[in-house]
Each structure stands twice: as C-alpha cells, then as structure tokens.
Chains A and B, each alone.
Chain A
Amino acid sequence: MTALGGIDRRLLQNVDWPLLGAMGGLVVLSATTLASLHIGRAGGNVALRQLAWFALGLLALLIVASIDYRRLVRLAPMFYVIGLAGLVTVFVLGRTVSGARRWILIGPMSVQPSEVFKICFVLMATWVLTSRWAQPIGKTTLALTAPVLAIPAVLIIKQPDLGTAILLVPVLTALLVGAGIRLQLLGGLALAGLAAMPVVWFAALREYQRERILVFLDPFRDPLGSAYNVIQAKIAIGSGQLLGKGVAGATQSRLAFLPERHTDFIFAVFAETWGFVGCLVLLTCYALLLLRGFDIAATAREPVGRLIALGVTALFATQVLVNVGMVTGLLPVVGVPLPLMSYGGTSMLVSLTALGLLLSVRMRQFQ
C-alpha cells in the first residue's frame, strides 16, 4: 500500500459516508448563510472564498485520510514544534486585528497559527499518552502532559486568544479519560484547578476578558459595551422564532446589528434566518458528525487510533458546544469559531484535516 497512489479497496469500503454527509451538509449551510450576508467587496464573495477553502481542505482531507495515522503520530513532536514555532511567529510577524495578534501573512493568505496548532496538539498529546514513558497511565503521565499543554497555552493566551487556549483543556481531559486515567486523580486535579481560579482571575486574565465573564453573568451591565454582542445575538436568534425570517427578513444580520456575524456569531445569523426548525437541522448534522467520531474512537482497534479519533472528536465537540453555547447566551463570550460554519480559511482547512484523521482511523479499523 502506498500513501497516495493505489488506495486499498478495503480502505475504501470503510469510508464513513454518514460523517462525510454531515460534513457536506454543514458546508452547504455555511456557504448559503455566508452568501446571504453580502459581506465583502461583492455579494457572495465570502461564500465563494469559503467554498474555495473547502476545496483546498477537501484535498488535505484526502491526503491525510490516505496516510496511515500512525505514521503521522510518529511525526507528532515535529508537528508540535512547528506549531509552537507558528505561535511564536505571531508575536514577530503577526497582523493585529481588533487588538489581537492571531494571524500571520503567507503570500496572499493570512494564516491563524493557533488554529493549526489544535491539530498539532491532538497529535502530540496522543504521542505522549501512547509513549512507553507514559505507561502506566497515572501521575507520571500527568507530569509528562502538563508542559505539552502549558507551553502553548501561555503563548496563545498572550496573543490573546482565550478561546483557543480554553479548548485545549477539555481535549486533553478527554484524551486522558480515554487513555484510562483514574477518575479520582482527574477529580483531584479539577479541584486543584478550581482552587487556582482566583489566581487565574487576577493574574492571567486581561481586563476585557474579565469583563466578558461578568457580562455573561449580567448582560445588562453595559448594554452598549461588552454585552452588546450577546444581546444582539439573542435578539437575532429569538426573533427567528419557529420558522425563521428568511434571507430577506433577517434584519439583525442584514443590517449589521450582529457583530462578527460571518465568523464567531454565524450561528445567530442562521438561527434568525431559519428559525428553530433550521437550528434542529444544523444541530442534527453536528450530532451525527460527533457521534460518528465517538463511534470511530470506540471501535478503534488500537490505542493510537482511538486517542486520535477521540481527540479530534473532543476538539469538534468542544468548539460546537462552546460556540453555540456562547451565541445562545449559555456561556460567556470567548473567541471560538463554529467548525465548518464560521468563515475562516485556516479553520476550514484544519477542520477538514481533522476529519481526514478520523477517516484515516476508520478506514484502518480492520487492518
């Protein structure tokens, strides 16, 4: 079997079509929603660019799926270092957008290294957890994984990009649980983390980040300031009612009352346009995608595949829950995109690469 050339017929038999179907559905919903917003130099511009990124991402998906994931995990330390290097580069060459340095320019494209790093992190965590030094899973494992999380977390928080940093914690937790860590140990760690909260609050969080959390607790603290996004998003979602306002009637989105409407808050646009029924369709797509992911992890033949699939699924699940949770007002606002829906080239590329990993695990399930 070669990496790219003749793909084994048995591999093709195990392609997860429901997963790809859910993915395709989400991309279609994303493109139509973006097209309705008329953002950019011409109508549909953002939607077309999103589709172009999707095409590029599809290529990445195919390449990744065709490679044995074990080979990729073996290279994980290298990816991890490259990812960290990308995070460091942001501080040197980074482009500042609304107060945060998150992007670097590569030719005509701007790339978000913290997005790319998510995949590197899953690979690296898997590599560490399946390495022989980490066995048996216990306190030693925790000590080994701590720097894997801490180094990038500090770099990402400094950008600042609280959202991405927060994602890493549940992903690592899921991997530890999947790897078989004792739950008492994890519980103790959680308690310690809870005890450290006040320190984090005053030492690590910036003023605007604290303000966001306070606004989450009381949205009318400052209705035109930090809470504006939350209130406008709630108005957009709520006014969609059962069946939605349709593309022409979605005034919250069309008249730009909704901030970040093509990126982090795209769910609100979708909810206003298509209503509760549309949201059910969208969430069903995500549910299908996530449950297929968990299924791939559960049915994986060996620990590396299981952890890779679990990490990727946990990454998706956390992003979906955090993003929709914050847009619907259940969680404080943190900058987390909705995978496959939010506009963003890097995010799309990374999401499809991650799905490629899932497929790779699925296809090699019976080898």
Chain B
Amino acid sequence: MNLNLRRGLPTRRDPGQKRIITMSALVTVGLMVIVCQLWYLQVLEGGRFQEASDKNRIRIRPIAAPRGILFDRNGAPLVDNRPAFTLSLIPRELDRDPDKRDAALGRLSALVQIPFQELRDVVAKTSSDSFLPVRLRRNLSMEEMQKVEEWKLELPGVIVEVEPQRVYPNSRFAAHLLGYVREASDDQLKQGRYRRGDMVGQSGLERLLDEFLRGKDGGERIEVDAMGRPMRLIQSTEPHPGAQVVTTIDRRIQEASEKAMEGHAGAVVVMDPRNGDVLAMVSTPAFEIDRFTGSIDRDAWLRVMKDPEFPMLNRTIQSQYAPGSIFKIVVAAAGLQEKTLTPADRTYCNGEFQLGTWTFKDWKREGHGTVDTLDAMRHSCNVFFYQAGLKIGGAAITKYAAAFGLGQATGIDLGTEKFGLIPQPKSRLRKAPAFQAGDIVNMSIGQGQVLVTPMQVARFMAAVANGGVLWKPRLVQRIERPERGVVWSDSGTVTGHVELNAAVWAFLRQSLWAVVNDGGTGAGARIPGLDIAGKTGTAQMIANSRADKGQDHAWFASFAPVKDPEVVVVVLVERGGKGGQVAAPIARKILNAIFFEKVASAELQG
C-alpha cells in the first residue's frame, strides 16, 4: 500500500509525524492479530465449529416404533397397541432462571400429581443443554393431558407426546404368559442394547421375543431456529413396527380358564395332545399386567413383590407340587407293562396298610372293600396301590415316570422352568442298594419326594391321551414381519416316546374314563354328551395334613374326548382340598367352554 506518508511535509521531520506512523503500525498489528484469530477459528478449527453449527440447527426427533402384536391361534389379538400420551420435558427449553423454572415445575407437579422433588431430580440429572425429550410419565390420562395443554404457556419445555403403548383385554389377562413391558432398567441399559426410554419385555413372551417384538424406531432430522421452532424437515425415517407373533393360545379358552379359576390360587394348562400346542396357560393369582406397563410406583411394586400369594410366580412351570394320586397312572402303566400287575389283581381295602411298624392310611377311612385294578384307579384306592407299588418296585416306577417326562424340564420356550423331581433309587443313602419300602409305598400314591409342575402333568396326560408321544409344549407358531413374511416358525417338536402295549393304553383310557363317568372320584368333571377321561389327585403339603381342612393341593388332570382326544386340561388348586371336589369342577367348566360354548361365543364376537 502506497502510504506516501512524507508527501505533505517534505522538508521537516516533526516528531508528531513519527508518532502517527507508529500509531498506524500499531493499528496494523492489531488487524494482523485479528487475521490470525480468524485463521485459527475458520481454518484450523473450522471443522469443529461446523459440527457445532450443525448441532445447533439440527434436532433429531425420535418416533417410537409400535411393538409387535401377539395373536392367538385364531387371529384374535392377545395384546395390542394404542396411542398413549407421554409427558416429557425438554431440558434446553426450560426457563433458565432457577426460580421461574421451579415455579413451572411446581405447577406441573400439582397438575399431574408427580412429586415436585421427583421433577427436580429429573432436571438435575439431565444436561440442561439437551434437546432430547426426557419422559416424565407415560400413559397420561385424557384429563391430565388437557390440563397440561391448558397451562402450556406457563410450562415452557413441557410437552405431551403421543407414543404407542400396550393395551390388554383385561388387567390380568394371561399376565404370566405375555409378560410385562417396561422401560429398560439401568442394568439393561448397561448391556448397551437399549437406549434410555426404550420399552423392553421384562417377562413371559414379551421378554422371550423382545428381539422380534421391538421394532426399529424412526426419526426426523429437523432444522430449527434459535427459538427451537422447526423450520424445515431435513430427513425423515419411518419407524418399522415390530414383528407379529402368532401364538398357540386360544384366547377363548384362556379367558374361560381364567374365569374358572377366579377366587383360587393355582394353575391351569390346556394342551392339544396331538401336537403339544398350549391352548391356555393360567396362573393365579395374576399380577395386574397393565399397571406394570409404564411407570409403577415403588409402593405398588413392593406390594406385589411382598404379596404372600406370589402373584409374579408362573405356577404352571415355576411351582413344584407332589402329583398325588395322578401318579397312580404311572404306577399302573409300569405294573401293567412290566407284568407285575394285571387288571384282574384284587385287594381288600380296609382303610389302612401295615408295613412293619408303619401304618399307611387310605384317604377313605372305612376303606373301599374289595377292589380290582380298575376300581382302584376309579376310586383312587391308596391301599391297592401301596401293595401294587411294592410289587412293581421303585426302579420300575421311576423308570416310567421319567419316560413320561415327569421330573424333567418340558423345554417350554418361556425358560425359568422348574425341573420337578423323581427320586432315584440311591438318592437317600449312597450305600443303600434300592428304595426303602416306605419310600416306594409313599411314591405309589404320588407323595413323598416326587415333585412335578402342572406343565409336566399336561405333557404326561397328553402322552396318555395320544398313545405315548411326548411333545415339547409349543407356545409360538410363527413370527411374521410385515415386509419379509415369516421369519421364524415352529412346527412342533417330539421329545420322547413311551412304549406301552396297546392293551395297557386301552386299560388306562378305560379306567380314566371310569374315574369321571362311572361313579369315580372325578365325577365332578362329568359333562353329559362328552367322554372325558381324568384323574384326581390330592397332594399333601405336609405330613398328616387333612384334605377336608383345605390344606392340600387339589389336582385334576383330564383329556377329552376319550376317543381321538383333542384337549388335555390340567387343573391345580393350591390348598384347595380334594382334587375331585375342587379341581374337577373347574376342569368341567373349562371343558364345557371348549366343547359347548364355542357357538355362543362365536356369535357374541361376530
């Protein structure tokens, strides 16, 4: 630059001029410093500021994918989604003045009944710079939503979002089977598969199939201005809903079974003996599945956890009971097949059986008189089976029990299954060569150490009904994705065979028919016009407990029709009393619903 500073005063060099040149040099240095700063900001750090500028203007708004739906075998939904209102907070849009912010939070606290301290904790936990909505409460009622909307202007940073949420036919419907869905817990978040606020299946099928049921969340990239107002949609990704699951459950039978169990603690399993399909799975008391979805307050949670009735327990697979007289079917099958027992064997039952110094009593104090094998099954005569058991021997009984799958996991997909227990010959003392006689006597009527789950009994009864095929209980038929069709399917798995002579099968069926239809202990399950076969059982909880005092577990295991069985119904009522008096009538209601209420129900639905 041609400054030509000396042009004006060619002859004199006054000190003022020098000073002015110095000052102009200083200003030039100042400008150079600014150029250096600009080089630093724009060229050296430009990329970083570019990112910061994008972060400023682009907001990502997630759109929750609806969770997959579970259907019953006929296409009726077991669980569905509905839009629900979620109350959320955008930390960045809250008032920056702490006093004003607290005033807004206080108002919100009063409107929706969330403790003020809880709201403050949420705010304290999140970065005040974040635009990502933080959920305060899911499933806001319509009334609460309206209140919040009315006060919207006084509540900066508070928004109501619409998100899909689980809805159930009723509050406890198939609670153990379906399982509940909740926000990912801190532990689950640590595994890294979930983001905060993700809904995750926590039990039952929801947990088992979570991978499939969880869809892929979509989202929108939005350009916003400094006030956070959306200006332009940059990119939008549609959410992909979760897969649809077709289960083996029959919603009608499930509902009928739950209704039949009302007021009782226990379990019901309804199974198709032809393929192992689980048509109904009921465990009572059930927890309120809809209250577990979303946020449940601590008190309610503790109440459920500390309930002496253990509503979280799935009694069909997680509780073990002595099978009681149901086990007589195994003993009879073992004896008849091993020829240590014949249908013609007779015993006089006077109500008790003497073994050394021990006295084993029949459930009927005065005894059954002279009974043959079929009578003993029909009337569930203990004395006959004490003697038969001793003749057959412990090893043969446990061998057949194991063959029928008792004391073994059924392999049902839900997991968390209990194994049950069939005592092995050497279980008591290592040196003892075989069972003690007393053990065998106890085992012959399904007491002592024998433990089974209702699901095992159902599989066992299905094998009796279908001639020896052990099916793995099937819960899920197939999983379909909207765009890809079937992604998983299960056509049923046979896990074992019980080989018995045709005559033995025929005898078992005949005797079990007689239990219900020929004046036996299962008469309470009898339905005219339907051939039901079944066996009662009364499992002693403690030695010398009294069934008539309601201290024993009541069993009834049945299948129908006897010719070409279609369903197996197993009922267990905890502390219900005698199987014939308590469990059999429940099974009757369920069977009645299955075979005779179909039309009426179809009309109601149609």
Give the B-binding residues of A (Cβ under 8 A): 174, 177-180, 223-225, 232, 234-242, 251-252, 255-258, 271, 275-276, 279-280, 283, 286-288, 290-291, 294-295, 297-301, 303, 306, 310, 314, 317, 320-321, 324-325, 328-330, 365
Contacts and interface: CB of A to CB of B under 8 A. Distances in A.
Contacts of A301: 8-9
Contacts of B15: 180
A238 B19 contact: no
A178 B20 contact: yes
Contact of A257 (B1, B16, B23, B226): B226
A22 to B, nearest CB: 11
The secondary structure that dominates the A interface is helix
Contacts of B57: 251-252, 255, 257
A238 B50 contact: yes
Contact of A242 (B3, B30, B42, B225): B42
Given A178-B20, A238-B42, A291 B53 contact: no
Contact of B38 (A224, A276, A290, A294): A276
A257 B56 CA distance: 8
Given A235-B52, A291-B28, 11 more contacts: A178-B23, A179-B16, A224-B128, A234-B49, A240-B42, A241-B42, A241-B43, A241-B47, A241-B50, A286-B31, A329-B41
Interface in B11-69: 15-17, 19-21, 23-24, 27-28, 30-31, 33-35, 37-39, 41-43, 45-50, 52-53, 56-57
4 closest A-B pairs by beta carbon, nearest first, are A238-B49, A299-B8, A241-B46, A294-B24
Contacts of B19: 177-178, 180
A169 to B, nearest CB: 15
Contacts of A329: 37, 41
Contacts, number: 157
Contact of A321 (B1, B34, B53): B34
B449 to A, nearest CB: 70
Contact of A255 (B16, B33, B37, B224): B224
Contacts of B47: 241
Contacts of A224: 96, 128-129
B56 A235 contact: yes
B359 interface: no
B506 interface: no
Contacts of A330: 33-34, 37
A283 B35 contact: yes
B117 to A, nearest CB: 24
A323 to B, nearest CB: 10
A57 B182 CA distance: 69
Contacts of B27: 290, 294, 317, 321
Among the interface residues B24, B39, B46, B227, which one has the most CB atoms of the partner chain A within 10 A? B24
Contacts of B34: 283, 321, 324-325, 328, 330
A256 B5 contact: no
A298 B46 contact: no
B43 A242 contact: yes
Contacts of A241: 42-43, 46-47, 49-50
Nearest to B4: A295
B20 A235 contact: no
The secondary structure that dominates the B interface is helix
Nearest to A287: B31
Contacts of A300: 8
B7 interface: yes
Among the interface residues A251, A283, A295, A330, which one has the most CB atoms of the partner chain B within 10 A? A295
A108 B3 CA distance: 43
Nearest to A272: B53
22 contacts: A177-B23, A238-B48, A238-B50, A239-B46, A241-B50, A251-B53, A252-B53, A255-B225, A256-B226, A258-B226, A271-B38, A275-B42, A276-B43, A279-B35, A280-B35, A288-B1, A294-B21, A295-B4, A298-B5, A306-B20, A328-B34, A330-B37
Contact of A178 (B16, B28, B30, B38): B16
Nearest to A307: B16
A294 B20 contact: yes
Contacts of B48: 238
B28 A287 contact: yes
B429 to A, nearest CB: 76
A350 B33 CA distance: 27
Nearest to B50: A239
A285 to B, nearest CB: 11
A306 B18 CA distance: 13
Among the interface residues B1, B21, B49, B224, which one has the most CB atoms of the partner chain A within 10 A? B49
A244 to B, nearest CB: 9
B72 interface: no
Contacts of A279: 35, 38, 42
B223 interface: yes
B9 A299 contact: yes
A328 B3 contact: no
A300 B5 CA distance: 10
B231 interface: yes
Nearest to A309: B20
Given A256-B225, A294-B23, A300-B8, A234 B41 contact: yes
B3 A295 contact: yes
Contacts of A225: 96
Nearest to B97: A225
Interface in B314-363: none
